[in-house]
Amino acid sequence: EGGVWALASSDRTGDALRQQAQRLPELERPHILIGSLPELTTLLTLRGEADLRFDRIIGRNVFTRDVGRLPETLVELKELLGENGRFCFIQMIPRHTQRLYKLVDWTGHDELSARVTAVEEAIYHDASDPLVNWDENDLLAAFGTEVEILVEQQVEERSVTESQIERWFTLDTSERVSYADHLVAAGISKPELDLTKRLYQRGLVSQVVRWETKFAYITTSKQ
C-alpha cells in the first residue's frame, strides 16, 4: 500500500493537477502540496506527516533556479527517503538551450550576425544570472560521487509563431529582460534591431525548426 504526493510550485499549477486528479478513483489521487522544494519538509509537518518516508522522489526541472542550494536541498531530501529509497530527476540545462541566431540565414549580414551571436552567447554565460550560470558539471559537483548523471541532447520539431518573435523583440518590459533588450544594451542600433527582427520573421514564422535542448538525467540512492 502507498500513495503519491505531488509538490506544485504555484497555486495555478496545483489547481491544474487537482483538476486532472479528479479523473482518478479517490484512493489513487495524489496529495498535492503547494510550495518550493526547500519547503517540502515544513509542508509535510504542517499536515501531520513529518514521519512520512518515500520510496522514490521524482522531479522535473526542480533545480533550475536553485542549483547553488543543491547540497543543502539534497541533505533535506535524503531525510525523506525510506530504506532503499532513490531520487530520480530530469533537469533541463538552460545554458545549453537552443540559440536563436543559429536558426536564421544571415547571408549578406556577416558583421551583424557576429555581433548578435556574441550578445546571445553572453546571455547564456552571465555569471550573475542563476538561471544560466551553471551546467551539468555543477550538478555533478553538488551531488557528489553518489550520483549518476546522464546528459542527453534532445531535438524536437517546433513551430515559431509571430507572437513569439514579438515577445523576443519587445523592449523595456517589466518582466525578465527581453532578447531585444540585451541586443540594444550591447550597442545594436534601432535600424540593426529592426533588420534582425525582419530576418527572424522571414526565416522562422510559420516554419518548423529543429530545436535543441540538453537534459541531465540524475539518479541517486539514499546511501
Q: What is the pTM of this model?
A: 0.81
Does residue 183 lie within any of the structural domains? yes
Return mean pLDDT, the chain.
91
* Distance, CA of 28 to CA of 212 (rounded, Å): 36
In-domain check, residue 191: yes
CA distance 30 to 7: 10
Per-residue pLDDT tens over the stretch 153-195:
999 999 999 999 999 999 976 667 899 999 999 999 999 999 9
The stretch 136-145 carries a mean pLDDT of: 82
Residue 180 lies in a domain: yes
Residues 122-132 as b/e (b if ≥16 CB within 10 A, e otherwise) read ebbeeeebeeb
Between CA 218 and CA 143 the distance in angstroms is: 9
* pLDDT confidence tier of residue 118, bands split at 50, 70 and 90: very high
Domain that holds residue 109: 96-128+161-206
Residue of 112, 99, 98 whose CA lies nearest to 196: 112
In a domain, 41, yes or no: no
Residue 197: inside a domain: yes
Q: Which residue has the higher pLDDT, 172 or 84?
A: 84
Per the structure, the count of domains in the chain is 1
Asked if residue 154 is part of any domain, the answer here is no
Whether 116 is covered by a domain: the verdict is: yes
What's the CA gap between 214 and 159, in Å, rounded? 19
In a domain? residue 48: no
| Predicted pLDDT of residue 198 | 98
In tens, the pLDDT along 47-83 reads: 999 999 999 999 998 887 767 777 788 888 888 999 8
pLDDT (0 to 100) of residue 221: 63
